[in-house]
Amino acid sequence: DVLADQIAAGEVIERPASIVKELVENSLDAHSNRIDIIVTQSGLGQIRIIDDGDGILPDDVEIAFKRHATSKIADPHDLFRIKTLGFRGEALPSIASVADVVLTTAADDDRGTMIHIKGGEILSTKPAAARPGTDITVSDLFFNTPARLKYLKSPQTELAQISDIIDRLALAHADVAFSFTHNEKELLRTPGNGNLQQVIAAIYGITNARKMVPFSDEDPDFSISGYTSFPEITRSSRQYISIIINHRYIRNFQLTKAIIQGYGSKLMIGRYPLSVLLIELDPVLIDVNVHPAKKEVRISKEGQLQQLIAGAIRKVMAQQNLIPDV
Ligand code: ADP
Ligand code: MG
């Protein structure tokens, strides 16, 4: 029912950036190679996501907007080995309960569907011409929940949040070509060729990307890799550190600390590197079902992982010393 969907929306859909995150994650779960994100007015005009993924079959389109009707979890054990970004079946119904949504989708060439749903009410569902993939437009956000609208920050802040989440998703999926356009201006484009350094260059600039060194290591439980900046390329904030576990961007204070520890005394107090850390682990070692937005996770053997990270960074930083200053 619409009320339950709106309550769920309160947990999952805080702001325009949450919608972008949920929709792009759906595109990624649908094996898209290309994801185009087109936004106006910091998400309060329109949020449109076009992907070339699996699409949705005609019979499944209305079901996709029903709560907990996820196609991603078949039996309860799946909850303990989650490989998709979504699994709660809450995003689409939540978004549709607080906005105007038009979704056009096709799983194959000749069976496209268009659905229009606003405030949780289906206004129309009909066959439509569509390329394989999904094209979703969200507008009139929070039209029926004015308290949420009031709670939003300035347009610049909301846009920065959208940009930030797209950056992290692009870093976590170097093999997917992303584009992000805001008010007709292209803000990001990644090649989608699997080259992480090129994604870093697209986000942080080519000069910064050249001043980052690759690192990698593994033990029986974890495999880590990524890029981290020379000790002289630092920022006054931790937010240029991205930690990605099994292609999911997460926040974790202990792992962030492990990166910083790897620099030892090379990093001045209050300065933080630019880093992208990719971690691969068996999904049984991670619990992503802690928070609806899945930003916080619980990791088993976290201490062991911290040591692996700090050690890998320490190693590349020691090699940096061999290069004489010029
Ligand atoms: P969840 O991602 O947790 O399964 P959502 O509410 O985000 O729940 O999506 C519901 C369902 O709609 C998904 O399980 C999937 O089957 C379908 N779906 C949503 N977006 C897409 C997309 N871009 N491409 C293909 N299928 C999609
Ligand atoms: Mg989802």
CA 65 to chain centre: 21
Q: Positive or negative, the Cα torsion across 289, 117, 187, 179?
A: positive
Please tell me the predicted confidence (pLDDT) of residue 110: 74
**Mutational test site, ligand 1, from 35, 59, 92, max ligand atoms within 8 Å of CB:** 92
Residues 280 and 177 in one domain: no
User: How many CB atoms are located within 10 Å of the residue 181 CB?
Assistant: 16
219 CA to centre of ligand 1 in angstroms:
34
Give the residue from 145, 142, 198 showing the smallest Cα distance to 170: 198
Would 19 be classed as within a structural domain? yes
ipTM score here? 0.99
Q: Cα separation of 304 and 162, whole Å?
A: 33
Residues 124 and 87 in one domain: yes
Place of tokens 């094209």: 135
Residues 45 and 157 in one domain: yes
CB 180 within 8 A of CB 48: no
Give the residue from 50, 231, 65, 255 showing the smallest Cα distance to 135: 50
Count up the domains in the chain and report the number: 2
Q: Whose CA is nearest to atom 11 of ligand 1?
A: 64
Give the residue from 91, 113, 93 showing the smallest Cα distance to 104: 113
Residues 44 and 99 in one domain: yes
CA atoms within 13 A on the CB side of 277: 33
Residues 132 and 281 in one domain: no
Q: Cα separation of 99 and 97, whole Å?
A: 6
- Range of 75's domain? 2-189
Residues 172 and 217 in one domain: no
What single-letter amino acid sits at 109? D
Please tell me the predicted confidence (pLDDT) of residue 280: 97
Please tell me the predicted confidence (pLDDT) of residue 326: 46
Per-10-residue mean pLDDT, the chain, length 326: 76 90 96 98 98 95 86 68 76 95 91 96 94 96 92 97 98 98 98 98 96 97 97 92 95 95 92 97 86 76 98 92 54
Q: Cα separation of 17 and 210, whole Å?
A: 29
Please tell me the predicted confidence (pLDDT) of residue 321: 61
CATH number of the structural domain spanning residue 221: 3.30.230.10
Residues 19 and 116 in one domain: yes
Q: Which atom of ligand 1 lies at the shortest distance from residue 22's CA?
A: 7
Q: Cα separation of 5 and 2, whole Å?
A: 5
